[in-house]
Amino acid sequence: MKLCQTVAELAAALAEVDQAGKTVGFIPTMGALHDGHLSLLRRAQQDGHFTVVSVFVNPLQFGEQDDFDNYPRTIGVDARLLTDAGADVLFAPSAAEIYPAGKQLREPSPGDLGEKFEGTYRPGHFAGMLKVVSRLFDLVNPDAAYFGDKDAQQAALVQQMVRQQIAAGEREPLKIVVCPTLREPSGLALSSRNRRLSEQELAVARQIYPALQAGAALAPDVAAVVSAARAAMPSEARLDYLELVDPLSFEKLDHIPEHGARLIVAAWVGKVRLIDNLLIGG
């Protein structure tokens, strides 16, 4: 695996790939890698791509409460995991490489979709996320990019941004591949934030997904789904939201459409904010 820390090093590595006529599969991450990230890499490898993984903790997508400073940074371990998993390039740039002083970068708008749920609770988060993803896409110019379904609203926003940029002639065709959430046997979705949970908090977090399942069992009665899932949530978890929404628009639903519905949740367990979702029908 080649480690690139600058835009110039990345461009040199990608020029060789281009000459060899290979396609590029890209996995953007903020590091603290776990098997969920590695499953995205495995999928890109199965799809036959030369693989580029980025590790960049993007300051623009953290709010005051979000704790940018405490976000886990484990670049040495990440590099070892990626080498063992057979990644081709690790792009681990500094903030100055991503946001060079004086360079005007695109600022994709999250639009209405970005106002809902995560957008309400984390103002500015999606604008910062789209800015860095767009910048990384410009630098890597991938044929396909891989995202996890746990961050379903993020994946929907990236898809919306790419559709708009392609339609405006600002970007080459690029496939966004959304991969299933990886879970521990308890059902807890793998997340870099889990490592900040104490044993007691982990026990609480492990009750979140079963609560979603308890709600989903009552489909298609939308009111029953939502109230049963809320009732089954552990009392120690502080809910930001738990709703049944359209999987594309994230509008709240009063019935389950043919393309299915997503039961989405964001909850604080201690000082850690966790999100998860479960697709019903579709």
Q: Give the containing element (helix H, strand E) for 40.
A: helix 35-46
Report the amino acid identity of residue 188.
Answer: L
160 makes contact with ligand PAF (CB under 6 A):
no
Tell me how far, at minimum, the Cβ of 10 lies from ligand PAF, in Å.
16
Which tokens belong to 78?
């990440």
Piece in contact with ligand PAF (CB under 6 A), picked from 129-137, 164-172, 201-209, 264-272 = 129-137
Whether the CB-CB separation of 183 and 210 falls below 8 Å is answered with no
Q: What ranges make up the beta strands (E) of 56-141?
A: 89-91
Q: Is 109 exposed, middle or buried (0-12, 13-18, 19+ CB in 10 A)?
A: middle
Nearer to ligand PAF, 54 or 207 (CB): 54
Number of H helices, E strands in the chain: 10, 9
In 168-207, where does DSSP find H-type helix? 199-205
**Cβ-based nearer residue to ligand PAF, 154 or 194:** 154
The site that binds ligand PAF (CB under 6 A) totals a number of residues, namely 10
Nearest distance, CB of residue 159 and ligand PAF, angstroms: 13
**From CA 194, how far away is CA 90, in angstroms rounded?**
23
29 binds ligand PAF (CB under 6 A): yes
Cis omega (within 30 of 0) on the bond before 220? yes
Does 151 bind ligand PAF (CB under 6 A)? Our answer is yes
- Dist CA 217 CA 213 (whole Å): 6
37/206 with CB nearer ligand PAF: 37
Q: Please say which residue, 148 or 215, places its beta carbon nearer to ligand PAF.
A: 148
- Say whether 259 is catalytic: no
Told to check if 129 binds ligand PAF by CB under 6 A, we report yes
Subset of residues 67 to 96 that bind ligand PAF, contact rule: CB under 6 A: none
Asked if 36 touches ligand PAF (CB under 6 A), the answer is no
Is residue 187 a contact point for ligand PAF (CB under 6 A)?
A: no
Q: What is the set of active-site residues?
A: 37
Applying CB under 6 A, which residues contact ligand PAF?
28-30, 58, 61, 129, 132-133, 151, 154
